[in-house]
Amino acid sequence: MEISYRINNIIFSVLISLTLFTWLLGQTELVGDITEKLSAKTIFIILLAVAVIKVQLIGDFFMHLNSVKGFWRWIITLWVTLTGGFIAIAFLF
């Protein structure tokens, strides 16, 4: 899919919103209630999932990989799965 100004604006807005969400989650005094109700592991999984989604959006739309077929289509997905997987194992087990 060829990226247009409109799609670029939408992806950028999503990326900024997810970034602010990550930052807010890190401010425990601001989101104290949420962090008290949810376990630390759940918070970690949410943070990691948000980071993975952001990386995938950059790969798909900013790097135009959503218009590629075959091995190269999945190169960023492969990287973020590998990296996220290592981080998840280290934090959760």
Partner 1 sequence: MYIQEQIERKYPPGDLALWIFICAELLVFAVFFAAYAFTRANNIELFNQFQATLNTDLALLNTIALLSSSYFVVSAIIAIKENKQQQSSRFLLFAILGGATFLVLKMTEYSHHMSEGINLTTNLFYMFYLSLTFFHFMHVILGVMILIVLWINTRKGTYTAEEHDGLVSGGAYWHMVDLVWLILFPLIYIMR
Binding site for partner 1 (CB under 8 A): 3-5, 8, 12, 15-16, 19-20, 22-23, 25-27, 40, 44, 47-48, 50-51, 54-55, 58-59, 61-65, 67-70, 72, 75-76, 79-80, 82-84, 86-87, 89-91
Start-to-end CA span in the chain (Å): 39
34 or 50: whose CB is closer to partner 1? 50
Q: Which amino acid is at 63?
A: M
Q: Quick check: 11 and 57 in contact, CB under 8 A?
A: yes
Q: How far is the CB of 71 from partner 1 (least distance, A)?
A: 8
Q: How far is the CB of 89 from partner 1 (least distance, A)?
A: 8
Q: Quick check: 44 and 22 in contact, CB under 8 A?
A: no
Distance CA 82, CA 13 (A): 27
Q: How far is the CB of 80 from partner 1 (least distance, A)?
A: 8
